[in-house]
Amino acid sequence: NMSAALEEYCGSIFWNASYLQRPDPDLPICVEQTVLVWLPLAFLWLCAPWHFANLCKKAAKAPLSKLYICKQVVSGLLFLTAIAELALTLAEDYGPSSDSTAQKHPAVLYTNPVLFAVSWIVVMLCQESVRRRPRAVDSGSLFVFWLLQVLCAIFQFQTLLRDALNKEEIADLPRFCLFYISYGLQLIAWVLSAIADVSPEVKRISQMNPEARATFLSRITFNWFNSMVIKGYKRPLVQEDMWDLNEKDSSQAICQGFEDIMAIELKKARSSLQKKRNKPKTKDGHQNGLAKGVSQDVLVMEETGKKKEKKKKKKEKKDSESEYPNSWLVPTIAKTFKGVLLESAFFKLIQDLLSFASPQLLKLMISFTQDKSSQAWTGYLYAVLLLVVAFLQSVILQQYFQRCFILGMKVRTALMAAVYKKALVVSNDSRKESTAGEIVNLMSADAQRFNDVTNFIHLLWSCPLQIALAIAFLWIELGPSVLAGLLVMVLMVPINGWLATKSRGFQMENMKFKDKRMKIVNDILNGIKVLKYYAWESSFEAQVQEIREQELKVMRKFAYLSSVSTFIFSCAPAIVSLATFAVFVSVSPNNILDAEKAFTSISLFNILRFPLAMLPQLISIMVQVLELIHAVIFIPKHITATMTEGTYAWERDTEPVLKNVSLDIKPGRLVAVVGAVGSGKTSLISALLGELHSLKGRINIKGSVAFVPQQAWIQNATLKDNVLFGSDVNEERYRSVVEGCALGPDLDLLPGRDQTEIGEKGINLSGGQKQRVSLARAVYSSADVYLLDDPLSAVDSHVGKHLFERVIGPKGLLKDKTRILVTHGISFLPYVDEIVVLVNGVVSEVGSYDGLRASKGAFSEFLETYGKDESSNSDFEQIDMLPEGLEPQADGSPEDIVSSTLKRENSLRHSQRSVRSKKDSDDKKGQRLIEKEAMETGRVKFSVYLQYLRSMGWCLVTWSFLFYFIQNVAIIGQNLWLSDWTDDSVKYFNTTYPNHIRDTRIGVFGALGVAQGFLVFLGTILLADGSISASRSLHTSLLSNILKVPMVFFDTTPSGRIVNRFAKDIFTVDEMIPMSFRSWILCLLGVLGTLFVICLATPIFTAVVVPMAVIYYFVQRFYVATSRQLRRLDSVSRSPIYSHFGETVSGLSVIRAYGHQQRFLKQNEDTIDQNLKSVYPWIVSNRWLAMRLESLGNLVVFFSALFAVISRDSLNSGLVGLSISYALNVTQTLNWLVRMTSELETNIVAVERVREYAEIKNEAPWITTNRPPDDWPTDGNINFENYKVRYRPELELILHGITCDIQSTEKIGIVGRTGAGKSSLTNCLFRIIEASEGQILVDGIDISTLGLHDLRSRLTIIPQDPVLFSGTLRMNLDPFEKSSDEEIWTVLELAHLKDYVRGLPTGLQHVVSEGGENLSVGQRQLLCLARALLRKSRILILDEATAAVDLETDDLIQNTIRTEFSHCTVLTIAHRLNTILDSSRVMVLDSGKIVEFDSPSVLLNNKQGHFYAMAKDAGIRGGETTL
């Protein structure tokens, strides 16, 4: 048999149990020379093939380092010792001095040296292969091999020593010496294998990323991360402290792999779809894509997109399902990341198996304490084994989590990049069905959802595995009675599942309310100025509060539901163990519950808890994600490339906007496109860009294209970057472009000149400036074809003239290019080569100016309407000779000047900082946000916690804490009772177990179990009530305060930041804080309970508790400081991803027209990388912490076992079982406690941020005791008396003492250059800014004494930008529902909208989309007019809209105002002089003073006056005002 063969091989006895039955155990020498030699060598030989594979590759070798040479020398010496040993054996057996009759040495003395000699050569080869591995610093497998080798040889080490000491002589001196020499060398080799061998290249990399030089030991303990943690503890981390990413983690590497595999998968999915349909595909989507000139890579880009199915598309879904391949996303992810997936699966498997070793060791430990005869060393062995198993488990679990989180991060990155790539090429019809917000959502929320799922993916197989194993072990312990406990658990799964689906329903409902509420809040912030002008705040506040109440109602339901599930979850272990033990004891009188059985079972039940709780959650998460994966691929965009017979629509199934348009434009011509509003001018440009859906016909554009959209699109970058737009700098050309586009004077106004950072959406530029930057971008790109969509409308007339002359016109910078110009400016038409007239989407005539004028067609009508006498030829001569003196100025802002000045100042403050150097200006986005939120570094003040508790209500908090505390006492009581119960097995040994005792035991055990469930239930319900009242009060105070804050605040704060308070911070207060607060209390009590029980069992343990608590505290402080800051950096660096994305979506047509997709993709990758730089360390910081805490927990286990062994004579087995099974649980609880503490700290910040905005200083009260008469103002007289005003106390005056009287029903025009204070006048009337001196009287009442609502509700303004709110048309006109439907129809008729609204299917209930997107700009302007008509007040302020209104709408508005407001006092702020020539008086402002105030005719005849000069610019001259 086996052992006999081994005995012959060794020449000594192989196994004898008596070796172990003594206080100083030992192993037989044969075991030490066979099994213990083979083990490490087997490991080495298994790993060798991997190393040899590297030797075959021709890789760049690292230079020879001293360390490498040492390693090889040590291995060489070991080789020599092996050879020496072999030589010795040979010499002794066959040498000259050998005795031929003596017994030969056993085989082992030949084979072992040979084995070792070969192995050392293998080791040398392995070390060489490590040197050839690129960027390797050490080898984990070699380290483990040396460790095993040293550990296994220890046995032989001590046996030889013992023998020598016992016999007091050394039997075999040469072998004795050789063994110790080689053992010493092995120790050295082991130490050397743990040191990093850093090549110069790695050294260079590791300066920016220490992970590169981390050794195997440092990697498994995450020690390389220490430097970051220490840095984070000393001072808050900033983006500059982040380390570079590993190459394989950068977004480019991830996306590359993902996209390659995706292309293949999509092809497969398509072809299988083809087969399924079994009919050739005729959709012109994919097949003729190439024929239509779509380049290959665009096609790939096309198909990367994924879109969620909208719920409302359920009907279409059935049809579309068959059209799109949908099963490609999961395989793509799986194949891209298969390496990581397999690795993590392997780790998870080992970890699951190890987790069952602890209960078995616990069982042995208990039997050891019961059996007083067993040797003491077995106890110590068990204690050490518990430690080793726990340590291994920790290491493997952390590696598994690390892999999972990295995988999640990579999946999220790949999806975000793919969605972005998709968005760049999405066609217009697909863009219509998903707003930018939805796409950003897809990027943030849903990619995040995927991230979470990848962390759970392995639980799908590991949960069932754990359950199966636990049941098997329990069966061994308790036999069939396990089924009782199992039944209870299985019954809980559907209950939990039902609760989960129910609560998911509530959550979905809540999301709906949240979206609805956020939509209104968004509207409020976008239209805050209008709300203030019209005094409508309270209506909107009520709307938000109403939704909020519904939301809280659902939240309360949700909270109660979750407290039920908490109740079940906390009762579960008690009820399960009760059922099991009760059945076990009752089945037969022989079944006695002893400590071994009871505590092993309990620790097994503890293992079971997790997978059973996870199963329902897992299922629901998977369902959610499968919904997401139902990804629909958009139809590719048609980039069709003279336009012949083109018919185009915005979407596939809608009315065409252009019908049968044919154009043929010769190179180098300037073609103007004119037509009324809605005649399809912009659509024509879009069609040329390939943005429209072609129903028939085709377009052919030769050469590159530059495009200037109607609404300028400005990036958040420096002004110079906006002009260069990714091209190389050519200073000469750049200067001429800036000069030509009249940007010179503007640059002087900006603090950093062209290095000034422009805010989001160009916030610190006026409309005209934006338009000119947009034009400059086009001119600089020097393309062949220029498509100019009305670039001259937003600028003042003299600037427009300058632009036409220097840039667009026959003598401009673009004179040799092909230009298509959409325009409303009639004065330019004589200078163009050709005019195209559009009427309702059809080209009605084409020709030169004079030709068309003569033909008396549509064009001459157009001229009649708008031209009036403006177009008398004498004006045109002036165009060419702009008087030198009148250099074009930086022109007027169409935004209200207050806000634009404030916004400008605000962003300029940032930009001054960024001018210093180019490097700076790259990071300023991050810096700015962090600086802004600087209050958030460092620890959260304790007062914030108190504030939150106060808003919950002290009474509720105290009671719920009490309940939780008593519950914890009940748990400990229950376990003590159990350990007492198990002692019965000793007391009633070999006697029958009395029934009444058994019943008491079961009864009390059960009662305590159910009691704790109820206590938790009560505590949770009270906490839920408290947290809901906290949510309510925090949100209410935030909302009502934000609406009362002065306008200045909104101008200096990006709306995103305010929205964030309402969305993210309120969400945190609603959902995260109550959760983390509750978990924190439970964890804290759990840890304290555990320590208490261990100290109760082994009082000596208290000595260890103190130092461990200190270590714990420090680890926790270090971690929290770093982790919190990393979390912040993550969210700060995440917002640029979304804002860049939003920017891209809004500027799609521009980016595509210039063909800059690649550059934007690259930029997106860089932004994502910046974010990953803080995500990655955050993932590692969690592992770093877990590793350290688990080691602490493992030590708790070790010490509790150790002390149990030391004091085993005084302990009963029940208490030992209790204290160790508690200790086994503490590791997780400790981990959770730190997590919860840091989460609570991170989340409580939200309360701080909400409070911050709830405490901003308010504007004047809305209503004061001084109420005006109901019909005030009856006449509408306005008197300014020495009125002075400044925006903020520290700034200059903007109105320097204005005094004037405006009589009832006068019509006053207000003109002046930019910054003269025109808009400030209106703002003063509405008290948007308060007077610093002087007063304004309206009908004799000083307006500063009234409440703001009383004042503002009696005045009416038609603001510059027409702001609409999402809601019905009716709500937009009359939010308080004061007017009847008849009145509303009347005003709609007056505003020329009646027919339009009549034609809508829902009439007045027509829903206006966000920002009024579904109405044309002209219609929005008319709606604002209707709004004003409905208010019927005596004073009307008209802030004239410059930008988007064409002459036709303008005429409508002017006429309505003349007739309908004849009995009112009207103040018009004019940008176009001809609109105010019929006013009774004109006020000319210049730098805050009135310089002229008289009737227009008088002013026009004063040749020295300001007004005359302005009129001359606009081509209006004295004699012509015969109105």
pLDDT digits (tens, 9 = 90+) for 1273-1293: 888 899 999 988 887 777 778
Whole-number Å distance between alpha carbons of 343 and 1512: 79
| Helix and strand numbers, DSSP H then E, in the chain | 56, 21
Whole-number Å distance between alpha carbons of 440 and 419: 9
Structure tokens at 1420: 């929005």
1278 SS3 class: strand
Residues whose CB is less than 8 angstroms from the CB of residue 1121 and which lie 6 or more positions away in sequence, other chains included: 232, 233, 236, 939
* pLDDT score at 1291: 75
1410 and 1378 in contact (C-beta within 8 Å)?
A: no
Cα 1167 → chain centroid: 12
Residue 433 has pLDDT above 60, yes or no: no
937 band by pLDDT with thresholds 50, 70 and 90: low
Whole-number Å distance between alpha carbons of 1043 and 1047: 10
| 608 to 91, 494, 622, 895, 1005: CA distances (angstroms) | 62, 16, 21, 64, 20
Structure tokens at 200: 């110069």
In single-letter form, the type of residue at position 256 comes to Q
Reference 1040, options 1244, 1253, 1246; nearest CA is 1253
Average pLDDT over residues 1383-1393: 89
951 and 1034 in contact (C-beta within 8 Å)?
A: yes
* pLDDT score at 1038: 93
pLDDT tens-digit map of 239-271 = 888 888 888 888 888 888 888 888 888 788 778
Structure tokens at 1156: 């800059």
Residue 275 has pLDDT above 90, yes or no: no
Whole-number Å distance between alpha carbons of 404 and 414: 15
Average pLDDT over residues 207-213: 88
| 444 to 1100, 1134, 1141: CA distances (angstroms) | 53, 9, 11
927 band by pLDDT with thresholds 50, 70 and 90: very low
E strand map for 289-416: none
Cα 895 → chain centroid: 32
Across 429-438, 832-841, 910-919, 924-933, which has the greatest mean pLDDT? Answer: 832-841
| 1253 to 132, 1038, 1042: CA distances (angstroms) | 59, 6, 7
Structure tokens at 148: 């095993």
Q: Which helix (H) or strand (E) holds 742?
A: none
pLDDT tens-digit map of 495-527 = 877 887 888 888 888 888 888 888 888 888 888
135 and 205 in contact (C-beta within 8 Å)?
A: yes
727 and 779 in contact (C-beta within 8 Å)?
A: no
Whole-number Å distance between alpha carbons of 1023 and 559: 9
Q: 989: buried, middle or exposed (CB in 10 Å: 19+, 13-18, 0-12)?
A: exposed
Whole-number Å distance between alpha carbons of 77 and 79: 5
713 SS3 class: coil
Reference 1414, options 1476, 1364, 1451; nearest CA is 1364
* pLDDT score at 986: 76
In single-letter form, the type of residue at position 532 comes to K
Whole-number Å distance between alpha carbons of 1405 and 89: 104
- The radius of gyration of the chain from alpha carbons, rounded to an integer in Å, stands at 41
Whole-number Å distance between alpha carbons of 256 and 336: 10
pLDDT tens-digit map of 672-704 = 888 877 777 878 888 888 777 777 777 777 778
In single-letter form, the type of residue at position 832 comes to V
Q: Lowest-confidence range among 434-448, 910-924, 1197-1211, 1242-1256?
A: 910-924
* pLDDT score at 629: 53
Q: Report the length, in residues, of the chain.
A: 1523
Reference 1060, options 1068, 1071, 1048; nearest CA is 1068
856 and 901 in contact (C-beta within 8 Å)?
A: no
Q: Which residue has the tokens 């879009």?
A: 686
- What sign does the dihedral 1504-1507-1508-1510 (CA atoms) show? positive
896 band by pLDDT with thresholds 50, 70 and 90: very low
614 band by pLDDT with thresholds 50, 70 and 90: confident
In single-letter form, the type of residue at position 261 comes to I
Q: What is the pTM of this model?
A: 0.74
Cα 499 → chain centroid: 29
* pLDDT score at 1032: 94
646 and 660 in contact (C-beta within 8 Å)?
A: yes
* pLDDT score at 652: 65
Which tops the pLDDT comparison, 872 or 1414? 1414
Q: Which residue has the tokens 């329990």?
A: 474
1522 SS3 class: coil
pLDDT tens-digit map of 802-837 = 888 888 888 888 888 888 888 877 778 888 888 888
| 427 to 302, 765, 1345: CA distances (angstroms) | 9, 30, 56
Whole-number Å distance between alpha carbons of 588 and 868: 111
Reference 1257, options 1409, 1111, 1456, 1047; nearest CA is 1047
Whole-number Å distance between alpha carbons of 1074 and 552: 14
Each as own residue / partner, the long-range contacts of residues 177-180 (CB below 8 Å, 24 or more positions apart, any chain) are: 178/81, 178/84, 178/85, 178/88
Whole-number Å distance between alpha carbons of 580 and 699: 79
Which tops the pLDDT comparison, 1477 or 992? 1477
pLDDT tens-digit map of 1339-1358 = 988 888 889 898 998 899 88
Edge-first strand listing for the sheet containing 785-789: 705-708, 785-789, 818-822, 670-675, 834-839, 842-847
Q: Lowest-confidence range among 92-106, 157-171, 255-269, 1128-1142?
A: 92-106
Residue 884 has pLDDT above 50, yes or no: no
When the pLDDT of each residue in the chain is averaged and rounded to a whole number, the result is 80
Residue 147 has pLDDT above 90, yes or no: yes
Reference 1058, options 1042, 1078, 1070; nearest CA is 1042
Q: Lowest-confidence range among 215-219, 225-229, 1100-1104?
A: 1100-1104
* pLDDT score at 1273: 82
Cα 163 → chain centroid: 67
Average pLDDT over residues 337-364: 90
| 256 to 303, 589, 959: CA distances (angstroms) | 15, 69, 57
| 1105 to 386, 918, 1091, 1218: CA distances (angstroms) | 19, 55, 8, 18
Cα 779 → chain centroid: 37
Whole-number Å distance between alpha carbons of 840 and 753: 44
Edge-first strand listing for the sheet containing 1481-1486: 1355-1358, 1435-1439, 1465-1469, 1307-1311, 1481-1486, 1489-1494
* pLDDT score at 643: 63
- Residue-wise burial string across 1018-1037, b where 16 or more C-beta atoms lie within 10 A, e elsewhere: bbbbbbbbbbbebbbebbeb
Whole-number Å distance between alpha carbons of 420 and 433: 17
Q: HSE (CB half, 13 Å, CA atoms) of 547?
A: 19
Reference 689, options 649, 655, 639; nearest CA is 639
